[in-house]
């Protein structure tokens, strides 16, 4: 039986602004593809985003091998693209089974299924590896809707909604296959903001996040219990990336790569045993960074760490349940820069409780921190987050119900949880970028000399 997995285009999300080219391996889909192959299935993949395919071209490409099952993943802003694609697939081949997974489907499974009767056969909730296998086996047996499937929802032949029980998340991530990168156009994955024109790939060393941030929907897919891959498994995948795909630029997309001290340092030490030099970008939180971690991260090739800073106001941070403070953030950024590692900071404008004054504090904080890269996003209360429910209660959504294509964070206000006009939030976002860039242009040469002096004094810890 042949299965084709598709990553739909997200080009429509970025029509309102110019940005550097960013193409990402759809790593969740690649994991499912690898696990299906490991279990003996014939798998193909179509990354419409990387290949710049429109809807019709994507459908043609997806159906080239007459698959029995088409699987599609989607975030909230591109769920409409995914559904349109599956509708096209059903028009071409009504007998092809369709499954839809990803963050949006995991957060709103019932809506996703019932609003798309006859288009979406299975909604996959959470991690998709084992659920995809069970769906394939049910189709092979000729009884796809006969009994509940853990991790999947579907309508049976009588039209009754069947909610499969929640599937236990795999605790030992090492038993999963590596992402099936050979099925994807690895030559297309570039991110000019991180690695210039050089190829790179996403990786994960863990799944899950213990945080309770009000704006984050990670728990819908990965849960709050963090599971770690072994350091050996991580570096074996890094070795495969170098030897099979000629890629040594790595972006770890864990929610928090530095969460567990020993795990982080063990990975770094094993990276140093590999016969390749890697250039690594990863994530951290102010309360999970330390001098010893930074020493090993720097040695292993980490050149930049991203922090979800979000706000420059302690009360806003408290409302966001960030479990951080302005002083904690300042110390973490200074520590990281002292280690000779660049810092990227993410900020959110339009948080619950934000005012002109608190947003000004956030913008000025970003400037004062002397960050190397920044992202200023307008708040998007995504399905599966605490703020999604708050926005509904406040009647704060600007778009029509279920018009999720407006749920993006650049120069758009999908929901306004402040007393400021929508237009003002967009102005503040534009001003934030302009002011930060101006500050960097005027101070970069002087501060680069300071950074060199700081690194000389940095204490090495074994």
Cα(372)–Cα(167) distance, integer angstroms: 41
The pair of structure tokens assigned to 12 is 């429509």
The pair of structure tokens assigned to 103 is 């963050």
CATH of the domain at 425: 3.80.30.20
Same domain, 320 and 387: yes
Q: What pLDDT does 453 receive?
A: 46
Q: How many domains does the chain have?
A: 2
Cα(78)–Cα(101) distance, integer angstroms: 12
Same domain, 130 and 276: no
Same domain, 400 and 440: yes
Same domain, 94 and 195: no
Are the beta carbons of 72 and 82 closer than 8 angstroms? yes
Alpha helices in 64-191 (DSSP H): 79-92, 103-107, 109-114, 129-140
Residue 43 lies in a domain: yes
Same domain, 134 and 245: no
Same domain, 266 and 369: yes
Residue pLDDT tens, the chain, 462 long: 999 999 998 876 665 555 667 899 999 999 999 999 999 999 999 999 999 999 999 999 999 999 999 999 999 999 999 999 999 999 999 999 999 999 999 999 999 999 999 999 999 999 999 999 999 999 999 999 999 999 999 999 999 999 999 998 999 999 999 999 999 999 999 998 899 899 999 999 999 998 899 999 887 777 778 999 999 999 999 999 999 999 999 999 999 999 999 999 999 999 999 999 999 999 999 999 999 999 999 999 999 999 999 999 999 999 999 999 999 999 999 999 999 999 999 999 999 999 999 999 999 999 999 999 999 999 999 999 999 999 999 999 987 778 888 888 788 899 999 999 999 999 999 999 999 999 988 765 444 444 444 433 333 333
Q: What pLDDT does 18 receive?
A: 59
Same domain, 242 and 108: no
- Paired with 62 in beta bridges are none
Beta-strand relationship, 161-163 and 152-155: antiparallel
The pair of structure tokens assigned to 347 is 């900020």
Q: What pLDDT does 405 receive?
A: 83
274: burial class by Cβ within 10 Å (0-12, 13-18, 19+)?
middle
Same domain, 396 and 328: yes
Global pTM reads 0.92
Same domain, 141 and 23: yes
Same domain, 200 and 147: no
Residue 174 lies in a domain: no
Range(s) of the domain holding residue 16: 2-163
Same domain, 134 and 236: no
Residue 277 lies in a domain: yes
* Dihedral (CA of 203, 22, 287, 171) sign: negative
Same domain, 198 and 65: no
- Torsions phi, psi for 6 (to 5 deg): -130, 135
Q: What pLDDT does 308 receive?
A: 96
The pair of structure tokens assigned to 362 is 């956030």
The pair of structure tokens assigned to 16 is 């309102």
Cα(77)–Cα(70) distance, integer angstroms: 20
């Amino acid at each position: 039986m042949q299965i084709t997995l598709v990553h739909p285009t997200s080009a429509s999300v970025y029509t309102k602004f110019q940005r550097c080219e960013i193409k990402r391996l759809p790593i969740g889909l690649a994991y499912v593809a690898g696990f299906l192959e490991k279990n003996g299935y014939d798998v193909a993949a179509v990354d419409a985003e990387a290949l710049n395919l429109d809807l019709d071209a994507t459908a043609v490409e997806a159906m080239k091998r007459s698959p029995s099952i088409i699987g599609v993943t989607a975030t909230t802003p591109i769920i409409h693209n995914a559904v349109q694609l599956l509708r096209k697939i059903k028009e071409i081949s009504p007998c092809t089974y369709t499954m839809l997974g990803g963050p949006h489907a995991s957060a709103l499974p019932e809506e996703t299924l019932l609003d798309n009767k006859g288009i979406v056969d299975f909604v996959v909730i959470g991690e998709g590896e084992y659920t995809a296998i069970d769906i394939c086996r049910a189709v092979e047996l000729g009884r796809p809707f006969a009994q509940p499937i853990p991790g999947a929802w579907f309508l049976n032949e009588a039209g009754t909604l069947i909610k499969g029980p929640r599937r236990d998340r795999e605790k030992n991530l090492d038993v999963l296959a590596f992402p099936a990168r050979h099925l994807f156009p690895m030559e297309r994955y570039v991110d000019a903001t991180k690695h210039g024109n050089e190829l790179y790939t996403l990786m994960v060393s863990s799944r899950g996040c213990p945080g309770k941030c009000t704006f984050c929907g990670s728990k819908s897919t990965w849960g709050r219990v963090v599971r770690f891959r072994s350091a050996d498994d991580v570096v074996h995948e890094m070795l495969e990336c170098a030897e099979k795909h000629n890629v040594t630029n790595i972006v770890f997309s864990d929610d928090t790569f530095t969460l567990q001290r020993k795990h982080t340092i063990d990975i770094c030490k094993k990276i140093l045993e590999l016969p390749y030099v890697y250039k690594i970008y990863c994530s951290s939180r102010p309360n999970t960074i330390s001098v010893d971690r930074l020493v090993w991260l720097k040695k292993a090739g980490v050149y930049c760490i991203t922090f979800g800073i979000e706000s420059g106001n302690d009360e806003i941070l408290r409302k966001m349940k960030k479990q951080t403070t302005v002083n904690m953030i300042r110390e973490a950024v200074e520590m990281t820069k002292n280690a000779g590692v660049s810092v990227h900071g993410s900020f959110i404008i339009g948080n619950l409780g934000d005012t002109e004054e608190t947003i000004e504090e956030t913008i000025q904080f970003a400037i004062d921190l002397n960050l190397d890269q920044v992202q200023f996003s307008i708040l998007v209360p995504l399905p599966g987050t605490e703020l999604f429910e708050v926005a509904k209660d406040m009647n704060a959504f600007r778009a029509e119900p279920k018009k999720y294509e407006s749920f993006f964070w650049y120069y758009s206000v999908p929901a306004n949880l402040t007393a400021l006009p929508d237009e003002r939030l967009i102005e503040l976002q534009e001003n934030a970028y302009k002011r930060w860039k101006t500050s960097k242009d005027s101070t970069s040469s002087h501060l680069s000399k300071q950074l060199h002096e700081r690194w000389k004094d940095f204490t090495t810890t074994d």
